[in-house]
Chains A and B, each alone.
Chain A
Amino acid sequence: MKMKRLLAVALTATLGLAATAPAFATTDITLFRFFGSCNDQYANVTNLDKAVGECGIIQVLTNKFNAEHKGDIAVKTQAVDWGTYYNRLNATFMNRNPPAVAVMHRSHLADYETRHLLTPLNSLFTKVGINTKDFVPAALKSVTFHGKIYALPFDLHAILWHMNTGLLKKAGLVGDDGQPEIPSSVDQLMAQAKQFKQATGKPYILLAGSIDPMVTRLFETLVWQQGGHLIDPDLKHANLDSPAAHKALSLINKLIEKGYMAAQYNYTDAQQAFLDGKGGVIINGTWVINDYDQQASNKASALSSYAVSTFPTLYSKPAVWADGHCWVMPRGGATGAQRDAAAKLLKYFYDNDLAWSHTGHLPVRESVLKSDAFRNLPHREAILSTTQEARGIPGATRSQAGIQDALNQQLQATYLTGKSQDAALKAAQKRVDAILSGRH
């Protein structure tokens, strides 16, 4: 008995020592993110060429950072599914153990900044050598509040016009130069859609419009292209019962009524429908370029050839819905040595903006945007103007997730339940006004 206990004590002591010894030198920091969980699949992979998709690239970047800082810094990833990401991030604040570094959408920054939950990064940026002048001005502006920078911009993502050129060709919508025709006005869009529908019997456009917020993104784009706005500059009221909003929504409904746009899909099904050649164009984000491209390399697939372009300007002003990923350091997350370690990680992400753009997202650094390495990636030249046209709801607006959901629900109701456009926009106006009032 005694012997056993002695042994146990000795054992724990040795193990304890062994465990604590390296901890002296290594600083652990937590990285809180979505993008999926693939640390098993990419265990110990540090070669970026082997990484595929958002999850692969971010995981390999993290692995590589850890390998390069072995014995110095260890990044522990907390991968959260994206549907509950912000709820869980909020929980870390509630439990007062926020992570050292977390990913965030630009559109969510205001919620955290106005509650003083984020660390200003200006001095840390200077310290580790992040040159803020290299950021695209709009990107830098989106992370700046009251003159201070609260996040490291990482990418820009927007909706794009993804085309099945094989099908478009069948409908006579590919020119002699091999370039697909892209509409530049509403009339042109209607004419092309009609032509496509007659030739193929299929809808011209596919949209994940039953559950996911894709229709909201389209709607916002169409409003902005008319020079309209959704939220008043004072951020106190919505402007959804406007002529521009009515015009945008009636275009969407007209496309659906005429069978030119199929919107009754959830995200996965819309994606599948496009891959199966059930429509000429899909309105989807930057993040799928590589998937579609890969699919198109398989000549037997229904998506035998693929092209993509910046979202067409249908009205007077070029504009497209966009958002961006950025990295923040939550207040109270990193302390002491962890702050420097976290700053180094941010610098590493900054340095690897190009690697991240392999996902299809657009880089936010001028130097990367101009680089041949980026421009030689497939299709990137065709979507470059997106960086100039990107728009979003004013960055300082709080509760953008709730606003988007309210809008989404009302917009969908017009074509899913036959709710009148007028009633839908009025209801959306009322609901968003209530959200903006800050009470609920």
Chain B
Amino acid sequence: MERYICAIVLILAAMVIALRNLSKSYETAEGRLEVLRGIDLDLGAGDSVALTGESGSGKSTLLHLVAGLDRPDSGEIVIGGRDISKLDDRGRAGYRRTEVGLVFQQFNLVPSLDVAANIAFHAKLAGRHDPAWENELVERLGIGTLLTRYPEQLSSGQQQRVAIGRTLAARPGLVLADEPTGNLDEANGDAVLELMLSLSKGTGSTLLMATHSRRLADWLDRQVHLRSGKIT
């Protein structure tokens, strides 16, 4: 147990993020579209940062690059002293498995698994399955009665609570959230965000959240605004 806690502390301590001159473009029908142009950003361990901007400003792309889901055209993504943009497919998969937690607007739960299995899924993949911690999360998220249900049988708010539970159950050093309340009404959205913030603070995770909403962005420690692929 002691060794386990030490490992988590080491991961969290190492989770200092530095993005250097990050650029990304896509081929579209109208030609090449530059989505990110020379992004520089630093995040400390335990920071919570809101990434704001209009639709198409590059928020999601930036999150995808930091999550290791995609590769930049140029620039560095240094996390804990390691440039993850240089990792191969397998290396980036390992990084996502053990170091990052993702929360999406569309929830993206595993449809074939019930709520209990969804919550434990990422933690088990990361090798950090902790039933006691998962039970605590379930209790705090208020989804104890839903454990045997499948994602399709849940409301949007319930699905997002499960998605947050799944992410935090793995105790990731970095939580990336892309419009996590975008599909929820205001009251539900506020409740879910409050939970996510308090839980991620409690685990000491760094949080980078993309949102349209200035109101929600105010809840986080810091705000970074993106416009046309640049930080303004």
Q: Do A and B share a complex?
A: no
What is the interface of chain B, defined by CB distance below 8 A to chain A? none
Q: Point out residues on A near B: beta carbons under 8 Å.
A: none
